[in-house]
Each structure stands twice: as structure tokens, then as C-alpha cells.
Amino acid sequence: MPDFDIGTDAFHTPDPVGKGVSAEAKRLGFRAQFNSPYGGSIVPMKFYQKDRRVISVMIEANRKLYMDLNTMQKTAGFERTRIACNRLMYAAAYAAEQYFGSVL
């Protein structure tokens, strides 16, 4: 099971966005996989498969990184995971910004 699951959509997740998130996870010392164990990302139905300007990527953190699964209490890894999630979101936003700059 990966540390982070990067959920993508063939229409709404440009390759550079998914790859940017994956590269940042690796740089931070985490294991990431695409669409495993869950696949896809969320897009409002109004835009689904209609507007490529709507970019979507779903980042899911494995609970073992930040929680004791027996007691459901935060572990020492909570803060590191919180920071990593923030960095992964910024990586996605940066990659999307670069992508739109290259296609406009």
C-alpha cells in the first residue's frame, strides 16, 4: 500500500500535474502510486468530460502515516504528513499553472 494515492482522471488530469505530485512525494521521501488503491478524482458534473480547463487530481494519504489505527489517535507522523499534503497540493497547483502556460 502506497503512502499516497494520486487519483487521476484521463480527461481532467494532465500528465504533468499527476507527475508533479508524484515527483514531490518522492522528493519528500514518500511512496506514491497512481489510482491505487483508489482510482479517479472528483469533477463537478457540470464540467465532467466537457471542459479541459477544469483540472482535477485527488491526493489521499494512507492513515498509517498519521494515525494509530487501533486507538485512532494522532501519531508523531501527523505533522510531517500534514506538511507533505500541503506540499503536494502546491506541487499540483504549480504543475497546473505551468501546463496552462504551455498550452495557451
What confidence tens digit (pLDDT) does each residue in 76-87 have?
Answer: 999 999 999 999
Average pLDDT over residues 94-103: 88
pLDDT at 102: 76
Can you tell me the distance from the alpha carbon of 56 to that of 31, in angstroms, rounded to the nearest whole number?
21
CA atoms within 13 A on the CB side of 73: 3
Task: Answer whether the bond into residue 37 is a cis peptide, omega within 30°.
Answer: yes
**pLDDT the model gives residue 104:** 53
Q: In the structure, how many helices (H) and strands (E) does the chain have?
A: 2, 5
**Segment 47-61 mean pLDDT:** 96
Instruction: Dump pLDDT digits (tens) for 8-27.
Output: 999 999 999 999 999 999 99
- pTM, rounded to two decimals: 0.91
Angstrom distances, CA of residue 104 to CA of 30, 53, 97: 33, 11, 11
The type of residue at 76 is A
Strands 4-7 and 32-34: parallel
